[in-house]
Each structure stands twice: as C-alpha cells, then as structure tokens.
Amino acid sequence: MTDSFSSRAPSQTQALVLKVALPSPLRRLFDYLPSNATPACGWQPGLRVRVPFGRRDVVGVVVEIADHSALARSQLRAVSETLDDAPLPEDWLWLCRFAARYYQHSLGDTLHHAMPARLRQGHPMAGRTQTLWLSQVKMQRKISAEHPNKQSCMHFCANILTGYPAVPLAPMALPATSY
C-alpha cells in the first residue's frame, strides 16, 4: 500500500491540526483543532470524531495530522468529541481513498457511505452481540426435551460427518401434514 495516510505527529499537542473528511460534496478536507481530551490511542488517522460543521454536529474521520493550516488558528474550531478508542482499519481507509479517487467523488462522502449506518450516526464501534449457538450437549438436551422425534434425527446429523455406523435406520413416526 503505497498510498498511505500521513500521520506526522508534531512534538507538541498545541501545534496539531486535524484534517477531517466530512460527508460533503466538497472535495477537500476540513481543518480542526484537537479537543482537550486526547483519545486513548492518541491522535491518528482513522479516528471517528464529531465536529461542528455549520449549525450542526457531524461525524467525520481524521485523515491526516498536520502541524499547520492554511487558516489562522483563531479561525479553526475544536473537535467536539472522539467517538472511538481505536482508529478504523488502515486498509479500509486506503480502499475508501482509492474509491474516492477512482470514482472522482469526495473522500468524506465515500467514507460516510462505506460505514454502517450506526457508525455514521456516531454510535460506538463495539456492536451488540447475540448468542446464536448452543453447545452440542445443551442443544441435544433441549431438542430431546421439546421434540423427542427429532432426537434420532439430530443423532444422525451429528454422526454423518464422522461416519455413521452401518446400522439400518428405523422409520420415524412423523405426524401427517398436508402441504
């Protein structure tokens, strides 16, 4: 990956200027000052931040870190909040930058549309999880308790991959249903 995001880190935090990509049709990065609260991983490209943009707060992605801006420091606004403890993956950022150049689209819009909706809205990166599996023992107990006829089916399915012993299969008594 030859086209990497620059992450020059000046020695003083006061001299930092964050170049942030925002969902806007303008094909440019916007300069912001870092907030007083430094993220756990430090300021680096790939961090999602909430910044004031016009009359609203917008979620953007830090793309570069510079030591100066074309604007005077008094004209720059500070980042409202850092949304993540760790940056977005570097290869994902590279892919979005490539897509923005290839399709001649703004980097901010490309990053915005490449993120899942909840990340675009500023929700934390750690998603909700739900257990969708049970151990084989718990599953067999649950099936045998709820559906006694399915137990022999589960036994057959569990042994099909490892090799089922040469035993004739008995027909299962299934309720007659019409489809």
Count how many Cα atoms sit within 13 Å of the Cα of residue 102 in the half-sphere of its side chain.
7
Chain segment 40-64, per-residue pLDDT in tens: 888 999 999 999 999 999 999 999 9
Chain segment 19-30, per-residue pLDDT in tens: 999 999 899 999
Q: Using a cut of 0.85, tell me whether the model's pTM lies above it.
A: no
CATH code for the part of the protein at 13-120 = 3.40.1440.60
Domain ranges in the chain?
13-120, 134-164
| pLDDT tier for residue 2 given thresholds of 50, 70 and 90 | very low
- Region of 109 please: left (phi>0), alpha (psi -120 to 50) or beta: alpha
Taking each helix axis from N to C end, the angle separating 148-160 and 136-146, rounded to the nearest 10 degrees, works out to 150
